[in-house]
Chains A and B, each alone.
Chain A
Amino acid sequence: MSQKIPIIKIKEDLIVSFLSDVDDIAALKLQSGLLQRIHDGKITGVLLDLTVLDMVDSFLGRLISDIARSSAIMDVKTVVTGIQPAVAITLVELGLELEGTVPALNVEDGIELLNELKKSKYDLEI
């Protein structure tokens, strides 16, 4: 049975803690769930925490980029945190850059970063 990935709301941010093994259906459900909640409420930031993920393949990589781009259209910033070294190396090898997201080391840094990003008037290219 496909597991549901929990989404937590803290002030104006949605925080997603990925589970250790994400099947495609759970990932797609997450995507639609997130975008729905952004649409519904007053959300200005999304933080995707990948700390527990020991693998990110092209499907998940694209999904993350899609979430970031869809969010950006609604003026929401997306930050990814906790990418493991082995996962980072694999992503780079695959040529996946997780476009549209800004990476941070951990959730704490990620929230700080979201605040920084929201302050700037223009899109920050870091």
Chain B
Amino acid sequence: MRRQEILQNIQIENNMDLVKARQAVRIIALDLDYGIVNQTKLVTAVSELTRNVLMYAGKGEITIELIETDTKKGLRITVTDKGPGIPDVDLAITDGFSTGKGLGKGLSGTKKLMDDFSIQTEVGKGTEVVIIKWMDSNK
């Protein structure tokens, strides 16, 4: 990683923070000259993750960072909470849309929209999801 810079931190506490998070990401992505499709994918992914935090942990935090390697530049967004954690995270990610509501939809959907997706969770302790979307991404 050649460079990483925190652009914004957002506390998630209530329903309106969902909108706040989306708008913040939209503005940052627009400012960085992301294409409209990638902007939308970013905002959608953040919306999914933020909602998960609200629904299962009640509150949490989003950190938006600008990252740069030798060859590419992008955004890394970390969503953390101290909630109940996800017991069967592998299942949750792959379960996807076929099984109806729940965490699965948000997580598997987010994974499809992003270039990089990683999740760390411990039952009783909390969850951290890190997503990366590079500029010029074709995904």
Contact = CB atoms under 8 A, between A and B. Distances in A.
Contact of A90 (B16, B37, B106): B37
A58 to B, nearest CB: 5
Interface residues of B, number: 25
Interface string B38-51: 01110110011001
Interface string B1-31: 0000000000000011011001100100000
A12 interface: no
A53 B44 CA distance: 12
Given A55-B40, A55-B43, A90-B40, A25 B15 contact: yes
A21 interface: yes
Give the interface residue-count category, chain A: 20 to 34
Contacts of A62: 101
A15 B4 CA distance: 46
Interface-central residue, B16, B36, B40, by most chain A CB under 10 Å? B40
Contacts, number: 65
Nearest to A87: B40
A87 B26 CA distance: 13
A109 interface: no
A56 B44 contact: yes
A96 B96 CA distance: 11
B105 interface: yes
A75 interface: no
A94 B19 contact: no
Contacts of A59: 47, 51
A55 B22 contact: yes
B15 A24 contact: yes
Given A86-B40, A90-B37, A94-B112, A58 B48 contact: yes
A94 to B, nearest CB: 4
Contact of A89 (B16, B40, B48, B106): B40
B56 interface: no
B109 interface: yes
Interface in A48-67: 54-59, 62
A95 interface: yes
B15 A54 contact: no
B117 interface: no
A2 B47 contact: no
Nearest to B45: A57
A21 B17 CA distance: 12
B112 A93 contact: yes
Interface of A: 1-2, 21, 23-25, 54-59, 62, 84-87, 89-90, 93-96
